[in-house]
Amino acid sequence: MNESTALSRKAIQLRAAMREFPPLLWSFLYFFFLLTGYYVLRPVRDAMGAANVEAVFSPSMIAWFAARGIALGDFTLQALFTGTFLCMLLLQPAYGWLVSRFPRRVFLPGVYLGFIACLVGFYAAFHWQTPGRGAVFFIWVAVFNLFAVSVFWSFMADIFSNSEAKRVYGYIGAGGTLGGLTGPWLTKSLVVGLGVANMMWVSIACLALCLVCIIRLGGWARQVEMVRGRSDDAAMGGNIMEGLRLIARDPLLRWLAVLMFFGVGVGTLLYNQQREIAKLMAEDELRTQFYSNLDLWINCLTLLIQVFLTRRVLTTYGVGPALLIPALAVLAGYALLTASPLPMLVAMVQIATRAGEFSLGKPARETIYTRVDRQSRYKAKAAIDTVVYRGGDLTFAWVHKGLLMFGSTVVFGGGLLVAAAMTFSAWRVVREQAMMPAERSDR
């Protein structure tokens, strides 16, 4: 079968899926606009993380650490990841309170309106060159990404069943991947001419379109919930820290948390090594373009896998191969880097690692969440996607700092051990989810 025939067949399958599942089109558009808005900001964030310390932290903060014998510029990423983790810890109870007290029709738009208001503030901060803007923006983008994407997939699990998710999540993920291609392209094309501050308005427009999609999808979600025997869009109730308690009690959620922790670890070690390359570039715009190019390659490979493999793997073989194949690919990549830690190979492994996660690993995990109860979908999942995720970031940012003193080979050797732990965790998740019912009951 030639390439054009394969693409035609996939297009026919997509049209058939959209006829069978009317919410699919709006879900596709929602994820497209969400990740377009995020990927417009991501290269700016990454460039801030690799910039001179004066562009990241305020002069008073730099002076405070200097007075105590600490050169803050030597610990830029470690400080940023520490700040991000602390913000996640503070926001998790606030998010738990929000989803416990308000129905989805209130808290979902409220989350996105809050993000839009923050972006207006960042426009002013970058326009007026406010000191310390780089650190605050870096932390905020990390928080925005995890909360917005986590809420998106929780919403999808309200709309689609497990069997439906296996059929449509690949297509929905492809919408996000197209957004991941569009965002870096917009930033690469516009940032030099418009400047960093005006990129905030591009992201604001994307989030406004996400709100339109949320409103359109709300009707389908309410219909599904009525069929499952719940009152229309009722608030969940429960304790604001319920997510962490659920993780502690449930073996499946615990192993999903462990998988997230070590999965973040392999990515953080690669990201920090990648930053060492970007630091050699003198201009913010050049660093932004470097990260945009990397994101473009990652999302191109992700899209190919999503179009040709994701749906087939999930519907034919289930979540097991979709979780284990990316884990084994990471393991092989770190083995190569341990043997030959070349800068170009670092970029190639980063592309393969993130593409495998986005195209197979994440859709497989999100499919599992269609089979758990609503408290686990919104509260435990949010805790895993935010607190556990950023806890892994923080841990391995400092691990990288220690390993780097012994050279890049030691960094990648440590990464090989982390990748092995990630692979074992994926295997345990596969075992635990195999004991669950095929479909959930929300009664």
Using one digit for the tens of pLDDT, what is the confidence trace for 124-144? 998 888 888 888 998 899 888
The tally of CA atoms less than 13 A away on the side-chain side of residue 350 is: 23
Distance (Å) of CA 369 to CA 165, 234, 309: 10, 19, 21
**Is 356 inside any structural domain?**
yes
- Could you tell me which of 326, 313, 343 has the C-alpha nearest to residue 267? 326
The whole-number pLDDT of residue 32 equals 96
**Is 101 inside any structural domain?**
yes
The whole-number pLDDT of residue 315 equals 87
> Considering Cα of 269, then 80, then 256, then 181, what sign does the dihedral take?
negative
Neighbour-count burial for 220-259, b at 16+ CB within 10 Å, e otherwise: bbbebbeeeeeeebeebebebebbbebbeebebbbbbbbb
The whole-number pLDDT of residue 280 equals 63
Write the single-letter amino acid at 198: N
The whole-number pLDDT of residue 232 equals 46
**What is the CB neighbour count within 10 angstroms for residue 74?**
11
Q: What is the pLDDT of residues 172-212, one digit of tens each?
A: 988 888 898 898 888 878 887 888 889 999 999 999 999 99
**Is 440 inside any structural domain?**
no
**Is 11 inside any structural domain?**
no
Neighbour-count burial for 24-48, b at 16+ CB within 10 Å, e otherwise: bbbbbbbbbbbbbbbbbbbbbbbbb
The CA distance from 394 to 87, in Å, is 12
Range of the domain at 202: 17-434
The CA distance from 24 to 51, in Å, is 40
- Could you tell me which of 180, 110, 122, 179 has the C-alpha nearest to residue 151? 110
Distance (Å) of CA 434 to CA 14, 97, 318, 368, 430: 28, 32, 10, 10, 6
The CA distance from 289 to 404, in Å, is 26
Judged against a pLDDT cut of 80, whether residue 238 lies above it is answered with no
Q: What is the pLDDT of residues 252-270, one digit of tens each?
A: 999 999 999 999 999 989 8
The whole-number pLDDT of residue 117 equals 95
Which carries the bigger pLDDT value, residue 209 or residue 161?
209
**Is 139 inside any structural domain?**
yes
Instruction: Indicate the pTM of the whole model.
Output: 0.75
Mean pLDDT of 143-153: 84
**Is 364 inside any structural domain?**
yes
The CA distance from 247 to 137, in Å, is 30
Axis crossing angle, helix 408-434 with helix 251-278, rounded to the nearest 10: 150
**Is 134 inside any structural domain?**
yes
Do 35 and 176 contact (CB within 8 A), yes or no?
yes
Q: What is the pLDDT of residues 360-379, one digit of tens each?
A: 998 899 899 888 887 888 78
CATH of the domain at 197: 1.20.1250.20
| Ranges 42-56, 154-168, 427-441: which has the least confidence | 42-56
Banded pLDDT at 401 (limits 50, 70, 90): confident
The whole-number pLDDT of residue 239 equals 52
- Could you tell me which of 399, 347, 307, 252 has the C-alpha nearest to residue 9? 307
The CA distance from 178 to 311, in Å, is 17
The total number of structural domains that make up the chain: 1
Please calculate the CA angle 244-321-179 and round it to the nearest 5 degrees.
70
Mean of the per-residue pLDDT values of the chain: 83
Q: What is the pLDDT of residues 71-94, one digit of tens each?
A: 888 888 788 888 888 888 888 777
- Percentage above 70 pLDDT, the chain: 87
Do 40 and 199 contact (CB within 8 A), yes or no?
yes
The CA distance from 35 to 298, in Å, is 13
**Is 1 inside any structural domain?**
no
3 state SS for the chain: CCHHHHHHHHHHHHHHHHHHCCHHHHHHHHHHHHHHHHHHHHHHHHHHHCCCHHHHCCHHHHHHHHCCCCCHHHHHHHHHHHHHHHHHHHHHHHHHHHHHHCCHHHHHHHHHHHHHHHHHHHHHHHHCCCCCHHHHHHHHHHHHHHHHHHHHHHHHHHHCCHHHHHHHHHHHHHHHHHHHHHHHHHHHHHHHHHCCCCHHHHHHHHHHHHHHHHHHHHHHHHHHHHHCCCCCCCCCCCCCCHHHHHHHHCHHHHHHHHHHHHHHHHHHHHHHHHHHHHCCCCCHHHHHHHHHHHHHHHHHHHHHHHHHHHHHHHHHHCHHHHHHHHHHHHHHHHHHHHHCCCHHHHHHHHHHHHHHHHHHHHHHHHHHHCCCCHHHHHHHHHHHHHHHHHHHHHHHHHHHHHHHCCCHHHHHHHHHHHHHHHHHHHHHHHHHHHCCCCCCCCC
Mean pLDDT of 336-340: 89
